[in-house]
Structure 1
Amino acid sequence: MPEVSLRFYEELNDFLPQALRKRSFTCSYTPKQPIKQLIENHGVPHTEVEVILVNGESVAFDYLLQPGDRISVYPVFESMDVTPLLRLRPKPLRALRFIADAHLGKLARYLRLLGFDCLFFNDAGDSELARNSVAQRRVLLTRDRGLLMHRVITHGCFVHATEPKRQLLEIVKRLQLEGVYNPFSRCMECNGQLAAVEKKRIEEQLPPRVREHHSDFWRCDACGRIYWKGSHYREMRSFIDSLVPSETKQ
């Protein structure tokens, strides 16, 4: 069978067996095999790849492999201008929205805390997640690399961390979300948007101590849940500030 030389760079190595990390290696392929298939055969989801160079030239996922090709595969670049090179997906989503896999419920809540539109269904299957990601133009967040290999998915992130707060920090850094926070604008429970509401309109729904000590309230336009700046608010504000200390306080 024909062979090519292949190397993955930076965090893409996390998907490889230890013996293949951070070095070039030779692998065989079947005739007329697209390069996307070769990459995913090594366990790297196509959504994690930003640039592919073959013999020094940029190619797309449908490039057909040729004997002796020297292939370099790169992840998303955070600090390097790669605009002269081929981007493998359409332009970034105009409005950054997310959909989280079933095992990322706490991450979904944290993203909502920062004001991001993030869907989460604890019983959604892979097909439903993929369908909603594409139809609603949402970035799919998952720790299931096989899910990100679905052909239809163009925008997705493999979440490396296992602890929810570290997962949030990972997504914030990777997608450079620091400048687009809108904290406390979404319901952490249902993802609905919050709007200020007059105290007199909700007074009967408030616990006595809250009614006595607070005057500013917000209500979810979807589930009706009521929010106010109690001790829990201060804890969450502190958590947000710990992500980016210079973030403007509300």
Structure 2
Amino acid sequence: MRSGTAHFRFYEELNDFLPPEKRKKSFPHVFPLTASIKDVIESLGVPHAEIDLILVNGKSVDFSYPLSDGDHVSVYPVFESLDITSITRLHPGPLRKPCFILDVHLGKLARYLRLLGFDTLYDTHYKDSEIVDLAQREHRIILTRDIGILKNKQVTHGYWLRETQPKKQVVEIIRRFDLVRQCKPFTRCLECNGKIIPLSQENNIIQPVPPGVKEMQDQFFQCESCLRLYWQGTHYSKLKTFVDTLLDKNK
């Protein structure tokens, strides 16, 4: 098979996918001449879902571009604020009201995002194909620690988490997608992602309330979907402190 050599340069967080010797600099790469630029880039380890702009010899191209010997390629990450509509954008624009779907390893992060009020799907039984299908049908951003799922050609919005600890991951997501002003804490059920609505004491509370709680609390909240009850007890105070600290640090 005939091969060619192109020079690549990846920018910003895309370097996270590369070995140290290839980060933040131009490097040569040998490729089969029948390959598309998407295939070559993903063979280097960078998923297409995190790419928003490719320049070849100074001109923007799409993923189907047939790479040629001697090409110089610059690859840029998804732009959340910069307007690049005048050139070949590789994905739809950023989702301004972001909702998420998480892979099976991110259960704690799912609870944190729901705590902040974000529509977040998570299920330990999801297969990769189901995650991709739901993301496509419901316009959700895939959050994952599995680079492979982001290489699926159907994925349009996805992000590979660099952090491994859930509390650091939620900070990473807030900063990456500039979410501070969109947070609406305590409006989503931590268990099922349903919307939480207030109840008065006159409402019929279906779920049992622990002894003494009804006498001490004058307001209850309930998930519209699973009917789980919430009230502002000591656990709420701890969560509120966590949320306030998190948002204050990331303003």
How high is the TM-score relative to the length of structure 1?
Answer: 0.93
Partner of 1:244: helix, strand, or coil?
helix
What residue number does 1:206 align with?
209
The whole-number CA distance in structure 2 between the counterparts of 1:108 and 1:94 is 19
Query: Which residues in structure 2 correspond to 1:168-179 (within 5 Å)?
Result: 168-179=170-181
The answer on 1:167 being equivalent to 2:169 is yes
Is residue 134–residue 154 contact of structure 1 (8 Å, CA) maintained in 2? Answer: yes
What residue number does 1:195 align with?
197
Uncovered stretches (5+) of structure 2, i.e. residues with no partner: none
What residue number does 2:243 align with?
240
Q: Which one of 25, 47, 50 corresponds to residue 48 of structure 1? A: 50
Provide the aligned length of Structure 1 versus Structure 2: 248
Partner of 1:2: helix, strand, or coil?
strand
What residue number does 1:110 align with?
112
What residue number does 2:100 align with?
98
Equivalent residue letter for 1:232? H
C-alpha deviation, 1:133, in angstroms: 1.1
Is residue 102–residue 124 contact of structure 1 (8 Å, CA) maintained in 2? Answer: yes
Query: Which residues in structure 2 correspond to 1:36-185 (within 5 Å)?
Result: 36-77=38-79, 80-93=82-95, 95-185=97-187
Is residue 241–residue 247 contact of structure 1 (8 Å, CA) maintained in 2? Answer: no
What residue number does 1:219 align with?
222
Deviations 1:114-164 (A, max 9, x none): 111111011211111111111221111100000110111111110111000
C-alpha deviation, 1:80, in angstroms: 4.9
Uncovered stretches (5+) of structure 1, i.e. residues with no partner: none
Is residue 80–residue 94 contact of structure 2 (8 Å, CA) maintained in 1? Answer: no
The answer on 1:16 being equivalent to 2:18 is yes
Q: CA RMSD, aligned part only?
A: 1.9
What residue number does 2:30 align with?
28
C-alpha deviation, 1:82, in angstroms: 3.9
C-alpha deviation, 1:4, in angstroms: 0.7
C-alpha deviation, 1:174, in angstroms: 0.4
Partner of 2:248: helix, strand, or coil?
coil
Equivalent residue letter for 1:236? L
Equivalent residue letter for 1:132? L
The whole-number CA distance in structure 1 between the counterparts of 2:67 and 2:174 is 35
Pair 1:143–1:246, CA change in 2 (3 A): closer
Partner of 2:205: helix, strand, or coil?
helix
The whole-number CA distance in structure 2 between the counterparts of 1:207 and 1:199 is 15
Is residue 106–residue 144 contact of structure 2 (8 Å, CA) maintained in 1? Answer: yes
The whole-number CA distance in structure 2 between the counterparts of 1:92 and 1:120 is 21
Deviations 1:74-133 (A, max 9, x none): 113456554444321112336421111000001111111111111101121111111111
Deviations 1:36-94 (A, max 9, x none): 11110011111111211111111111111122111011113456554444321112336
The whole-number CA distance in structure 2 between the counterparts of 1:38 and 1:21 is 17
Which shifted more, 234-243 or 196-205?
196-205
The whole-number CA distance in structure 2 between the counterparts of 1:203 and 1:111 is 27
Partner of 2:109: helix, strand, or coil?
helix
Pair 1:78–1:130, CA change in 2 (3 A): closer
Which shifted more, 94-103 or 238-247?
238-247
The whole-number CA distance in structure 2 between the counterparts of 1:61 and 1:30 is 16
Is residue 97–residue 118 contact of structure 1 (8 Å, CA) maintained in 2? Answer: yes
The whole-number CA distance in structure 2 between the counterparts of 1:135 and 1:62 is 23
